[in-house]
Structure 1
Amino acid sequence: MIQQGQQLPTATLSELNADGMQTHKTDELFANKRVVLFAVPGAFTPTCSEAHLPGYVVLADKLKAAGVDMIACVSVNDAFVMSAWGKAQNAHEITMLGDGDGSFTKALGLEMDTGTFGGVRSQRYAMVIENGVVTQLNVEAPKEFEVSKAEVILAVLEK
């Protein structure tokens, strides 16, 4: 599993936005920025839709005021699903990224196999990235939602 102080692996993530389908290399997307990246096991799933993404939507302005250039959400879903979920959640300030084949998630060592429920998905986590380097990593224990909340990350940033 990736650790604090390590460079993010290079991978490709996809985003469907007003300009159409975009593909992003992680080393370019996160270069020269302070980014909060949080991951969810799946778009439109209960905890993800009722608490995780909404927390970042509500606190987006405060996170940006704390020096964050980008807030991004990633899931092992395609960019179409991530875009639709972002629209349904009014996540206008969040960059919704699809890791369709799970390659980024696997490169981080943060995948989990949910079997017939959904196959390989991402563990729930949040990280702070500064110029491509992980400076904070909060990975949830299975079936928990405590350390990756927007409030927790905001508190870390405000220290």
Structure 2
Amino acid sequence: MIVKSLVSRKALQKLNCINKNSLVQLSALMSVKVGDSVPAVDLFEDNPTNKVNLAELAKGKKIIMFAVPGAFTPGCSKTHLPGYVKRADELKSQGISEIVCVSVNDPFVMGAWGKDQNTQGKVRMLADPSAELAKKLDLALNIAPLGGVRSKRYSMVIEDGKITSLQVEPDGTGLSCSLAEAVKL
């Protein structure tokens, strides 16, 4: 692709956010892009026996899904998740059926984190324990201090199974374009 040869990865990271309005198409950096269908990946809610298939969850609905590198981490617990909890009613009044938080953690950790952050009725806490979703979206990131493969930080709007908006943090972990205040409905 010509864009790849003209713009370095370092230059792309200087962009405030990588999204559909950027000068560079998202497809130049990763496989997932606006217009793609979400994969039929099983995530887990509260325990390993409660599977939630993402494609089924998104069927016939408009949802916001955002991913964080790790439960109980400072940026995720102080800023990212609380923003969506705080704005849940407002976002739902604008046609959002559900708000989903995903992290590469086990379902027990995600359940405990949800209770700690008072997400009940506002944000569903889904675990991606083997990073299957992160890998299928090509949004996996190796963060050794957090245990290895994690998800990049991003937010997306999904309408009837199709991604209609996608904001990926330029460095994969920052707190700017994937925040609740920046979500593009």
Superposition TM-score tier, normalisation by shorter sequence: over 0.9
* Structure 1 residue runs without a partner (length 5+): none
Aligned counterpart, 1:66: 94
Aligned counterpart, 1:152: 182
Cα RMSD, aligned residues only: 1.3
Confirm whether residue 54 of structure 1 aligns to residue 82 of structure 2.
yes
* Structure 2 residue runs without a partner (length 5+): 1-30
> Residue 67 of structure 1: SS of its match in structure 2?
coil
Aligned counterpart, 1:138: 167
> Residue 33 of structure 2: SS of its match in structure 1?
coil
Matches within 5 A, 1:2-151: 2-16=32-46, 21-92=49-120, 93-142=122-171, 143-151=173-181
1:63 is displaced (CA, Å) by: 0.4
Q: 1:87 to 1:21 in 2, by over 3 A?
A: farther
> Residue 16 of structure 1: SS of its match in structure 2?
coil
1:115 is displaced (CA, Å) by: 2.4
Are the counterparts in 1 of residues 70 and 146 from structure 2 also a CA contact under 8 Å? no
More strand by share: 1
In 2: Cα distance, 1:110 partner to 1:61 partner? 28
Size of the alignment, in residue pairs? Answer: 153
In 1: Cα distance, 2:79 partner to 2:145 partner? 24
* Higher Cα radius of gyration: 2
In 2: Cα distance, 1:106 partner to 1:122 partner? 8
1:139 is displaced (CA, Å) by: 0.1
1:21 is displaced (CA, Å) by: 4.2
In 1: Cα distance, 2:144 partner to 2:125 partner? 25
Moved over 4 A (4+): none
1:116 is displaced (CA, Å) by: 4.7
1:117 is displaced (CA, Å) by: 3.5
Question: What does the per-residue CA deviation read over 1:14-54, in whole Å, with 9 as the maximum and x for residues that have no partner?
Answer: 0018xx94101111111111000000000000000000000
